[in-house]
Amino acid sequence: MRIGELARRAGVSTRALRYYEQQGLLASRRTSNGYREYDEFDVKLVAEIRSLLTVGFTLEDARPFVDCLRAGNHAGNACPESVEVYRRKLAEIDDGIRTLLLRRAEVAAQLAGACPGCALTRGEIT
């Protein structure tokens, strides 16, 4: 299939596909007239990349998952390198949550100092 069909089937732009190729995550074959050609496996690779990007992974984070699929595994997360990326990302998220909770406590303390007796608004965590 050509790049336009892959883009349509994967729900991404052709520009994104070219970028993934430039980054070494996707490889096209070239026809005699220079058109990029892809196969069904490439649809799976792009779906894996997109699902990871959607939840906050970077393209570099996606590399072990793509490599795992290319190695013939049924899923991109079937390799130890992919599991390690999951662990690292969870640690980053946990650090971010801790940082946000500390900031929230600081802002709540400043609010309490500025407005003694002010009630927390709806949806605030206590």
Q: How far apart are CA 14 and CA 28, in angstroms?
A: 12
Place of tokens 């299939």: 1
In the chain, how many domains are there? 1
Q: What's residue 126's pLDDT? A: 54
CATH of the domain at 93: 1.10.1660.10
Mean pLDDT of the chain: 93
Q: How far apart are CA 8 and CA 28, in angstroms?
A: 16
Query: Is residue 43 situated within a structural domain?
Result: yes
Query: Is residue 123 situated within a structural domain?
Result: no
Handedness of CA 26, 27, 31, 32 (dihedral sign): positive
Model confidence, pTM: 0.82
Query: Is residue 50 situated within a structural domain?
Result: yes
Q: What's residue 89's pLDDT? A: 97
Q: What is the pLDDT of residues 4-49, one digit of tens each?
A: 999 999 999 999 999 999 999 999 999 999 899 999 999 999 999 9
Q: 86 vs 126, which has greater pLDDT? A: 86
For residue 66, the tally of other CB atoms under 10 A from its CB is 23
Give the contacts of 44 (CB within 8 A, at least 6 positions apart).
69
Q: How far apart are CA 21 and CA 19, in angstroms?
A: 5
Q: Supply the range of the domain harboring residue 90.
A: 3-114
- ∠ CA 92-47-76, nearest 5°, is 60
Query: Is residue 120 situated within a structural domain?
Result: no
